[in-house]
Amino acid sequence: MSAALTDTRSAELYERAQRRIPGGVNSPVRAMRSIGRDPIFIDRGEGAEILDVDGNRYIDYVCSWGPLIHGHAYPRVLAALRETAAKGTSFGAPTAGEVRLAEMVAERMQGVEMLRMTSSGTEASMTAIRLARAATGREHVLKFAGAYHGHLDGLLAEAGSGLATQALPASPGVPESAAAQTIVIPWNDEAALRASTAGSELAAIIAEPLPANMGLVPPAPGFLELLRERADQCGALLLLDEVISGFRVARGGAQELSGVQADLTIMGKVIGGGLPAAALGGATELMRMLAPAGAVYQAGTLSGNPLAVAAGIATLELLDEDAYERLADYTARLAAGLREAAHAAGRAVQIVSATGLLTVFFSDEPIANFGQATRSDLALYARWCRELLARGVYPPPSQFEAWFPSLAHSEEQLQRTLAAAAAAFAALEQPELVA
C-alpha cells in the first residue's frame, strides 16, 4: 500500500515559483520532471532526513547533491557558521580561514600544492581549462560523453547530470566555436582515447575519475592509467574533476584510490560543507600562473567566503579514517540490500556503488558508458522513485544522478530504506495509485 503524499503547500509554492523563476526552480533537476512529478519544496533537514513544507518526512539520499557528507544541520558545522557569521559574512580581503582550508586540502590531496577557491564547481572547471590553455598554448579539450563539469559553454557537449536528465544533447546559446573546441568520446573506450590523442594538439583531457553524473559508472581497470599516459604522450594536461569524489570516496579522493594523479584537480561540493565553495589545485609552478602571481586572470567577489570556508573546515576536520569506514560500510550494505530487494521482486537492475555513492540502473546489462546508461528503463526508474517518495525515501529524481548516503544515515534508517525499496519494487507490478 502506498500512502499518498499531502502536497498542498508544495503545489501552491510551485505555482507561484513558475511565475517568477524559470520552470519554478533555480537548478533544473530539482523540478523532478524526469520522474514525472512536481517538485517538493523543503522546509528543513535533520541529520539524514528532510521535511517538506507539507510536513512529509523523507530519508534523504540527495543530501544537496553531495556537499552534506555529515547530513543536514550538523551541530559542529552550524556552530562554526554561527561563530563566523557573528564577525561578519564577507570582506573582499583575505582571512585566516582561507589559509587554513588551503593547507588542509593540500595535506589531503596528493598533487595539490596550491589552490584557488571559487564559489562553484563550474567556475573551478572554467578556470582549470583557461589555465591548461595558457600553460600549453593550445585550445582543444577532450571530454567524455556523460561527464558533467559544470555549465560552461565549451563543456556542455554531451554532458551528464541535468542535461542528460532533460535529454538535451547540448544547449542552445552555446556558440559553435565553443563546441568546436571540445572533442567528446565515450567513457571507458580505449580505442577512441588512443585515436583522439594520437598526435593531437590537446590543451587538456578532462574527466571525472569516478564519473557520477550519468549515474555512477566507474573506470574500467587500467583506464585512468591510460588517461595519464595519453595526456603525457600528447603534451596535454590531465584535469581530474573530483567535485563529487573529492573528500567523499576517500580522504584524498579518487586519486588516492587509483594512484593516478592529475595536473589540475577540480574540487567542490564537500569542500564547502553545504555552502557555496569550490576550488582548483595543482603543482605550485602551474598554479602560480594565476593572477596576481601570474598573468592568467581569475577572480571572484565571494571566493573564499568566510562562511563557506568555515563550513568546509568543520566538514573536513570531521572526516577521519573511521568516518570513511562507516560511510563505506553503510553504502555497501545499502547496495547489497537493494540488490536483494530487486532480486526478490524479480527485477533486473544494475547496482553500482563506491564509498558514499550509489546508482540503481534499471537495466539488464552492465553499464560502462553513457550510451548504455541512456538505454536503461527510464520510465521504470521514474515510477520506482515515485513509489519511494510515497514511502518516505527521497532518491535522486533522475536515473543519471548518484545517491549520496551520508555519515548521518543510521542502521534504523537503512532498514527503513530497504523495506521501502522492497515495497516499491513490488509495487512496479501493480497499476500506480494516483495521489
Ligand X SMILES: *Cc1c(COP(=O)(O)O)cnc(C)c1O
Stretch that binds ligand X, among 7-15, 28-36, 238-246, 314-322 (CB under 6 A): 238-246
Is there binding between residue 213 and ligand X (CB under 6 A)?
yes
- Name the residue type at position 416: R
Smallest distance from ligand X to CB 25, Å? 14
Pick the catalytic residue from 189, 269, 330, 394: 269
Identify whether the C-beta of residue 58 lies closer than 8 Å to the C-beta of residue 420.
no
Residue 224 binds ligand X, judged by CB under 6 A: no
Phi, psi of 412 (to 5 degrees): -65, -40
Task: Pick the catalytic residue from 58, 74, 148, 330.
Answer: 148
CB of 343 to ligand X, least distance (A): 30
Is residue 268 a contact residue for ligand X (CB under 6 A)?
yes
Cell readout for 238 is 590531465
Among residues 118 and 331, whose Cβ is nearest to ligand X? 118
Q: Give Cα separations from 38 to 23, 41, 57, 100, 386 (angstroms).
A: 10, 10, 17, 42, 11
Q: 190-197 and 223-234 helices cross at what angle (nearest 10)?
A: 10
CB atoms within 10 A of CB 62: 20
How many residues touch ligand X (CB under 6 A)?
14
Residues 208/265, Cβ–Cβ less than 8 Å: no
- E strand segments, 106-235: 114-118, 140-144, 182-185, 202-207
Q: Shortest gap between Cβ of 236 and ligand X (angstroms)?
A: 19
Contact map string, positions 6 to 45, toward ligand X, x by CB under 6 A: ----------------------------------------
Q: Considering beta carbons, is residue 226 or 402 the nearer one to ligand X? A: 402
The residue from 241, 263, 330, 381 that is catalytic is 241
What DSSP letter does each residue of 10-28 carry, written as one string? Answer: HHHHHHHHHHHSGGGSSSG
Does 274 participate in binding ligand X (rule CB under 6 A)? no
The residue from 193, 244, 352, 389 that contacts ligand X (CB under 6 A) is 244
Instruction: Give me the least distance between CB of 148 and ligand X, in Å please.
Output: 5
Distance from C-alpha of 242 to C-alpha of 221, rounded to nearest angstrom: 19
Beta carbon of residue 302, minimum distance to ligand X (angstroms, whole number): 13
The yes or no reply on residue 118 touching ligand X (CB under 6 A) is: no
Among positions 52, 98, 158, 241, the unique one binding ligand X when judged by CB under 6 A: 241
Exposed, middle or buried: residue 20 (CB in 10 Å: 0-12, 13-18, 19+)?
exposed
Contact status: 149 vs ligand X (CB under 6 A): yes
148 is catalytic: yes
Point out which span in 165-173, 241-249, 313-321, 359-367 binds ligand X (CB under 6 A): 241-249
Query: Rounded to 5 degrees, what are φ and ψ at 282?
Result: 180, -160
Tell which one of 120, 261, 350, 406 touches ligand X (CB under 6 A). Answer: 120
Q: Which residue is nearest to ligand X (CB)?
A: 121
- Helix (H) and strand (E) counts for the chain? 15, 13
Which strand ranges, in their side-by-side order, compose the sheet holding 278-282? 114-118, 278-282, 264-267, 237-241, 202-207, 140-144, 182-185
Q: Are 263 and 226 in contact (CB under 8 A)?
A: no
Give the nearest distance from C-beta 273 to ligand X in angstroms.
13
Contact with ligand X (CB under 6 A) among 208, 263, 279, 313: 208
CB of residue 390 vs ligand X: minimum separation in angstroms?
28
Distance CA 28, CA 89 (A): 28
Q: What is Dmax (Cα atoms) for the chain?
A: 64
- State residue 224 phi and psi, 5-degree precision: -65, -40
Which segment (15-23, 114-122, 279-287, 307-315) binds ligand X by CB under 6 A?
Answer: 114-122
Q: Within 235-320, where are the H helices? A: 253-258, 284-287, 306-317
Per CB under 6 A, does 150 bind ligand X?
yes
**Cell numbers for 77:** 558545522
**Half-sphere exposure in the Cβ direction for 129 (13 Å, CA):** 24
- Which one of 75-83, 163-171, 239-247, 344-352 is the stretch in contact with ligand X (CB under 6 A)? 239-247
Question: For residues 149 and 391, which CB has a smaller minimum distance to ligand X in the complex?
Answer: 149
Question: C-beta of 145: minimal distance to ligand X in Å?
Answer: 14
Q: Is 359 in the site for ligand X (CB under 6 A)?
A: no
- Out of 121, 218, 281, 304, point to the residue binding ligand X (CB under 6 A): 121
Residues that bind ligand X (CB under 6 A): 120-122, 125, 148-150, 208, 213, 241, 243-244, 268, 278
Residues tagged active-site: 148, 241, 269
